Amino acid sequence: MKKQLSQRWIISKSGLRFLIIILLVIGVFFRFANIDKKLYWGDEVFSSLRISGYMQSEMNEQLDNGHLLSIEDLHKYQYPNPQKNAIDTLKGVVLEDSQILPLYILLTRFWVECFGNSVAVTRSFSAFLSLLTFPCIYWLCRELFKSSLVGWVSIALVAVSPIHVVYAQEARAYSLGIVAILISSVALLRAIRLKTKVSWCIYTATLVLGFYSHVFFTLVAFAQGIYVLAIERFRLSKTSIHYLISSLAGFITFVPWIWIIYTNPQPAAVAWTNAKQTLFGSGVRWAGIFSRTFLDFGVSPIDLGKLKIVLIPFILIILALISYSIYFLCRRTSKEVWLFVLTLIGSVALPLLITDFILQKRYATSRYTLPSVLGIQLAVAYLFTNKITSISTKVWQKQLCSLVAFIVITGGVVSCIYHSQAQIWWNQFPEKYQEFPKIAHIISQGNKPLIISDEKNILPPIQILGHLVDSKVRFQIVKENQLPEITDGFTDIFVFLFEPSDFLKAGIEKVYHSKLQQVNNFLWKITKPS
């Protein structure tokens, strides 16, 4: 098979290289296109709070005193500043966000300190990290399939994959996690092949990188252990012993953070997983998760059912392609190859499937299944490469597979175009935050606008607005069950309440003899009676 791939590779080298270079350029472009235009949503403002080095308790204490606040006062808790250093950043993660790992936060802090305070700069670090996916997945294909051609096809798929582009533009650790998974996978396969102490030490180092990149990397590391033991037939061979030593050494370095998570649990951070879901709802959710690997038009729970119905045939085709790719891979490759891909796919997907369909929880979400997405893309890349370039493939099969590959690539490019023009996407919880750009526009239209709110609404709602409204807007935040002293001189005074506060609304009307005119679900405007 390698000989067949190599022969075809020589014949089509220039054309294929030109096409992949074009797709690579397109993929790089969409990772940075309009990177600061989308809503800087809840998870991202939490990331920025951690980057600033302040803790949420400090921020609330300093902002909810009823004084007038500017945009700069809010941004003090969104960007690095001289008053807090990297130690303070680490302290905030340990005490208030132990479920996220510190490596991304610390690296992003240094990145923003170097290149400046802005949404574009903060997000651009994730986009930069996502570029490392290309050489890493190529290297992985060289180690796994012994074929550079599969590597180039994998690059093409990842370059225009909408799910990769979505998370490349988010100020979270997902791009770092993807790179860590790929580097660790390469290091493992290389250590198995070379069987040297140095190669196993490199694998240990990649485990440390992964453990401190994303908490779900632990599942990937566990799946890698199953893979090694399976190919060694669960015997204590030299490879198995070296793997156990390396994995133990890597795990020991992560024990301190496990203790931090245990002693500083953050149950509120995963409270959303407690939502119950029917079996049918879970099935639909999983179909959407996997289909976004190749096609994504931003469909979210608030979108009309007609749009979802239109997408059903395309989703079914994608699911069929994924299923056949995995089947084809298992039939045509050795155990060492197909088992690696299957364990990568199942590393996160299998535990999440169990929690969804047996425990009826809602842990499954696209950002958690990215390791499975990588495995799927490897399987599809192998299918396309083999079917299109193999001499033994029948002509009609080549034509059909070429058509499918063209549709997949086109779907990815169109999805990226659509994503680049949107102001809010499905991963930013539009059911909660889609009104924020409208609210910011309404407030910014005033000559001297003031926003009144209470401490419950500081993070994330007020900080989200701080990235959207004009610099002329002022804020006034009070403690819960307290009323503000409204200052004269403002032309437009609004009450913003993402979380209900009947006390604040009723108190303003009664004490200040004003009326509250509701603008939308979260915004009221104070009007004086004539």
Q: Tens digits of per-residue pLDDT, 479-493?
A: 988 888 888 889 999
Task: Give the model's pLDDT for residue 306.
Answer: 73
Task: Give the model's pLDDT for residue 258.
Answer: 94
Q: Is residue 359 part of a domain?
A: yes
Buried b or exposed e, range 345-356, using 16+ CB within 10 angstroms: bbbbbebbbeeb
pLDDT over 80 at 239, yes or no: yes
pLDDT over 80 at 176, yes or no: yes
pLDDT over 70 at 524, yes or no: yes
Task: Give the model's pLDDT for residue 396.
Answer: 82
Task: Give the model's pLDDT for residue 9.
Answer: 39
Cis, peptide link before residue 460, omega less than 30° from 0: yes
Alpha-carbon gap, residue 247 to 251, rounded angstroms? 6
**What percent of the chain clears pLDDT 70, i.e. is strictly above it?**
95
Alpha-carbon gap, residue 74 to 466, rounded angstroms? 7
Q: In the structure, what pLDDT confidence band is assigned to residue 529 with cuts at 50, 70 and 90? A: low
CA-atom Rg of the chain in angstroms: 26
Task: Give the model's pLDDT for residue 530.
Answer: 53
Q: Is residue 423 part of a domain?
A: yes
pLDDT over 80 at 49, yes or no: yes
Alpha-carbon gap, residue 141 to 120, rounded angstroms? 32
Same domain for 475 and 409: no
Which residues lie below 8 Å from residue 96, measured CB to CB, with a gap of 6+?
55, 56, 57, 264, 266
Alpha-carbon gap, residue 178 to 204, rounded angstroms? 17
Same domain for 328 and 386: yes
Q: Is residue 57 part of a domain?
A: no
Task: Give the model's pLDDT for residue 221.
Answer: 96
Query: What 3-state DSSP class applies to 476?
Result: strand
Query: What 3-state DSSP class applies to 431?
Result: helix
Which residues lie below 8 Å from residue 93, measured CB to CB, with a gap of 6+?
50, 100, 102, 105
**What percent of the chain clears pLDDT 90, i.e. is strictly above it?**
70
More confident residue, 18 or 349: 349
Q: In the structure, what pLDDT confidence band is assigned to residue 12 with cuts at 50, 70 and 90? A: low
Same domain for 362 and 305: yes
> What is the pLDDT averaged over residues 238-260?
95
pLDDT over 90 at 319, yes or no: yes
Out of 362, 395, 428, pick the residue that ends a domain.
428
Q: Is residue 52 part of a domain?
A: no
pLDDT over 70 at 266, yes or no: yes
Q: What are the Cα distances from residue 441, in Å, to 56, 421, 449, 523?
A: 27, 18, 11, 12
pLDDT over 80 at 16, yes or no: no
pLDDT over 90 at 171, yes or no: yes
Among 225-239, 357-371, 417-431, which stretch is predicted with the lowest mean pLDDT?
A: 357-371
- Is residue 15 packed enough to be buried (19+ CB in 10 Å), middle (13-18) or exposed (0-12)? exposed
> Crossing angle, helix 335-357 and helix 174-194, to 10 degrees?
140
Whole-model pTM above 0.85?
yes
pLDDT over 90 at 304, yes or no: no
Q: Could you tell me the maximum CA-CA distance found in the chain, to the nearest angstrom?
A: 88
Total residue length of the chain: 530
In sequence order, the β-bridge partners of residue 494 are 451, 525
pLDDT over 80 at 80, yes or no: yes
Q: How many domains does the chain have?
A: 2
Contact 496, 451 (CB under 8 A): yes
> What is the pLDDT averaged over residues 165-184?
97
Contact 416, 165 (CB under 8 A): yes
Q: In the structure, what pLDDT confidence band is assigned to residue 453 with cuts at 50, 70 and 90? A: very high
Same domain for 449 and 357: no
Q: In the structure, what pLDDT confidence band is assigned to residue 466 with cuts at 50, 70 and 90? A: very high
pLDDT over 90 at 138, yes or no: yes
Q: What are the Cα distances from residue 497, in Å, to 46, 146, 421, 477, 480?
A: 19, 58, 29, 11, 12
Q: What are the Cα distances from residue 419, in Å, to 152, 160, 252, 297, 422?
A: 24, 12, 41, 7, 5
Same domain for 212 and 329: yes
Same domain for 369 and 486: no
> What is the pLDDT averaged over residues 164-192?
97
Q: What are the Cα distances from residue 356, in Å, to 163, 275, 283, 351, 428?
A: 21, 11, 9, 9, 21
pLDDT over 70 at 6, yes or no: no
Among 176-185, 389-398, 403-412, which stretch is predicted with the lowest mean pLDDT?
A: 389-398
Contact 374, 346 (CB under 8 A): no
Task: Give the model's pLDDT for residue 39.
Answer: 96
Among 297-306, 383-392, 419-428, which stretch is predicted with the lowest mean pLDDT?
A: 297-306
pLDDT over 50 at 11, yes or no: no
Q: Is residue 46 part of a domain?
A: no
> What is the pLDDT averaged over residues 3-25?
67
**Cβ atoms within 10 Å, residue 328:** 17
Alpha-carbon gap, residue 184 to 188, rounded angstroms? 6
Q: In the structure, what pLDDT confidence band is assigned to residue 269 with cuts at 50, 70 and 90? A: low
Out of 393, 411, 428, pick the residue that ends a domain.
428
Contact 209, 183 (CB under 8 A): yes
Contact 178, 130 (CB under 8 A): yes
Same domain for 438 and 296: no
pLDDT over 60 at 3, yes or no: no
Give the residue numbers spanning the domain of 486: 432-527
Q: In the structure, what pLDDT confidence band is assigned to residue 7 with cuts at 50, 70 and 90? A: very low
Contact 441, 497 (CB under 8 A): no
pLDDT over 60 at 213, yes or no: yes
Contact 180, 213 (CB under 8 A): yes
User: In 3D, which of 288, 35, 293 has the Cα closest to residue 161?
Assistant: 293
Contact 144, 224 (CB under 8 A): no
Same domain for 360 and 273: yes
Contact 98, 81 (CB under 8 A): no
Same domain for 444 and 332: no
> What is the pLDDT averaged over residues 173-184?
97
pLDDT over 90 at 360, yes or no: no
Q: Is residue 360 part of a domain?
A: yes
Out of 396, 428, 460, pick the residue that ends a domain.
428
Q: Is residue 249 part of a domain?
A: yes
Backbone angles phi and psi of 119, in degrees to 5? -60, -40
Mean pLDDT of the chain: 90
Task: Give the model's pLDDT for residue 5.
Answer: 44
